[in-house]
Amino acid sequence: MAGFKKGAFSVAGKAGVDVVPVTLLGTGDLMPSGQEGSLRPGAVRIVVHQPIPTKGRDTGKVCVRAHMCVQACTHARVFLLAAGCAGSWA
């Protein structure tokens, strides 16, 4: 997963509003890399994480924290799939 750009985090910080990271799980199964022209049927799980306060915080650190939230959720799904424990994560 590529890093996040800081623009949205900078705007949120200036506005004094929280950032709410969102993870989309399963999108790679629906539209594999290099095959963007074909869309497969399937399900996508949306995970809405806890808000991250921006007021008085370094924009770069907020950006890194949001990235870590999304990345941890993505890695947890991969681990569960590899262990055969997909359940509702599939």
pLDDT tens for the chain, 90 residues: list them.
677 888 999 999 999 999 999 988 888 888 878 887 888 888 888 889 999 999 899 999 999 999 998 988 877 765 555 444 444 444
pLDDT at 51: 94
What pLDDT score does 78 carry?
57
Contact 21, 72 (CB under 8 A): no
- Report the alpha-carbon distance of residue 34 to residue 22 in Å, rounded: 24
3-state secondary structure of 24: strand
**Which pLDDT belongs to residue 19?**
94
Distance CA 52, CA 49 (A): 9
Q: Which residue has the tokens 């997909």?
A: 86
